[in-house]
Amino acid sequence: MSNHLTIATVTETLRFLLDAAITPVLGGVTVSTGKPDAATQGDRTPRVNVFLYQAAHNPHWRGDDLPTRTSEGRLVHRPRAALELHYLISCYGEDATLDDQQLLALVVRTLHTHPCLSPDLIDAAVATHAFLRESNLAGERELVRFTPMQLSLEEMSKLWSVFYLTQYELSAAYAGGPVFIESDDTPISILPVLERNIHVLTVAAPTITGIEPSSGPGLPIVHGVQLVVTGRQLLAPPPRVSQVLVDGTPTAFDAQTATDTRLELAVLPTVRVGAHTLQVQHLIPMGRTTQPPPSQPPLHPAFESNLAGFVLQPQLLEPPLLSDVQGTGTSPRSATLHLSVDPPITEDQSATVTLISLADGTTLPPVAIAAGDNPRSVPIQGVPTGDYYVRVTVAGVDSPLTRDAAPNSPTFGLWAGPKVTFA
């Protein structure tokens, strides 16, 4: 692996390489790693300056470490970024003796002859600096290789005029890479596969075409009513097992009445008022079990149906009652309305009760219902005398009204309740 000292180690090793090659030929030459504007300061003493002006992602090695994690988010190997370092190597010296040109020739010759940073060279460069002692670049399997960059006159002008704000000096640009920087996170060791199994299955995914209450199409879905799920290939053939998910939670269905096109299940009491999803899964036994026979291998999802939806409505468990009715004659009445709502209203749900006049269909302003256990007592004020339907709204979902089911009744098929009378 390569740690956070990698870039600094590459720069120092490059400086060390050039210094070792230039000093025997032209003695007294200094090889530095400062910024170009700080390297000269009007001094024409022969020198070479190595400056890292850009660290770019290496296009050939970028993403080579992927994937670093499993689908569960577990780290399987260390993330590793691949970089390419761009250097500007500037040469300084007396113009009369063309020192800068001599130095540039030595730089080009050295990097053409020794383009790679060997482990021995890295170790020698690191040994001269205490702050690089923890560098582990020498153990990297890919050697850092330097190649010349062909910068145009415009690109070179921008480097000196925009970045450095100093006079131009004879320079050459080189790119060094690949340079890897790895995370120091510890991957989780994954156990080897015990068994390899191939399961050949015919494509027989379940399909849901409808959801309705067992009481009949178009009737409300409330607690205590069976859900009827219709579709195709709902019942999985052995050894597969069918499973119904309501909001992703496994929910039991009636295995005695289940068919390939019809499943029945009860709405769990934990299901709250509002919209919900339902899905049918086919599970298959796959893998191995640690239990002795006749235990079966664990079940795994094989096929899933489309997501279907239904809305659970609130309902009044008992007819609403009035108490403490106040008011006489034609004046509006005030009273306390007692309601038993199923499911009970929770703190995070908004709930209101609305009165609808049987005489002309006038709807009175809704009144808030406080959360808590049944029955709930709601103060009602300013209600004209007459009969009213009572409708409860919880989390934006209305409670159903009942119809007159007596065939001989003059109001057969019309709304019958729940209702209260303000006399």
Per-residue pLDDT of the chain (423 residues; tens, 9 = 90+): 678 899 999 999 999 999 999 999 988 898 999 888 654 556 778 999 999 999 999 888 887 777 877 777 777 777 888 999 999 999 988 888 898 999 999 999 999 999 999 999 999 999 989 898 889 888 888 899 999 999 888 888 887 777 766 778 888 999 998 999 888 777 777 778 777 777 777 778 999 999 999 988 889 999 989 999 999 999 988 888 999 999 999 999 999 999 999 999 998 888 999 999 999 999 988 877 777 776 778 888 889 999 999 999 999 999 999 999 999 998 999 999 999 999 999 999 999 999 999 988 889 999 999 998 888 999 999 999 999 999 999 999 999 999 888 888 888 888 888 999 998
Q: What pLDDT, on the 0 to 100 scale, is given for residue 112?
A: 95
Q: What pLDDT, on the 0 to 100 scale, is given for residue 364?
A: 92
Tell me if 194 is assigned to some domain. Answer: no
Q: What pLDDT, on the 0 to 100 scale, is given for residue 41?
A: 57
Let me know whether 377 and 245 are in one domain: no
Let me know whether 82 and 145 are in one domain: yes
Let me know whether 56 and 173 are in one domain: yes
Looking at the 3D structure of the chain, how many domains does it have?
3
Tokens of 43: 């001094």
Q: What pLDDT, on the 0 to 100 scale, is given for residue 395?
A: 93
Tell me if 1 is assigned to some domain. Answer: no
Domain that includes residue 358, residue range: 315-422
Q: Considering Cα of 111, then 116, then 118, then 124, what sign does the dihedral take?
A: positive
Let me know whether 135 and 20 are in one domain: yes
CATH at 217: 2.60.40
Tell me if 254 is assigned to some domain. Answer: yes
Let me know whether 230 and 171 are in one domain: no
Tell me if 202 is assigned to some domain. Answer: no
Let me know whether 59 and 142 are in one domain: yes
- Give the C-alpha separation, 288 to 300, whole Å: 12
Tell me if 356 is assigned to some domain. Answer: yes
Let me know whether 323 and 261 are in one domain: no
Q: What pLDDT, on the 0 to 100 scale, is given for residue 71?
A: 76
Q: What pLDDT, on the 0 to 100 scale, is given for residue 1?
A: 63
Tell me if 352 is assigned to some domain. Answer: yes
Let me know whether 255 and 230 are in one domain: yes
Tell me if 199 is assigned to some domain. Answer: no
Q: What pLDDT, on the 0 to 100 scale, is given for residue 38?
A: 53
- Give the C-alpha separation, 58 to 177, whole Å: 7
> Which residue pairs, CB below 8 angstroms and at least 24 apart, start in 244-251?
244/278, 244/279, 244/280, 244/281, 245/277, 245/278, 245/279, 245/280, 245/281, 246/271, 246/276, 246/277, 246/278, 247/271, 247/276, 247/277, 248/277
Let me know whether 82 and 223 are in one domain: no
- Give the C-alpha separation, 389 to 332, whole Å: 17
- Give the C-alpha separation, 123 to 121, whole Å: 5
Let me know whether 63 and 171 are in one domain: yes
Let me know whether 221 and 344 are in one domain: no
Let me know whether 177 and 252 are in one domain: no
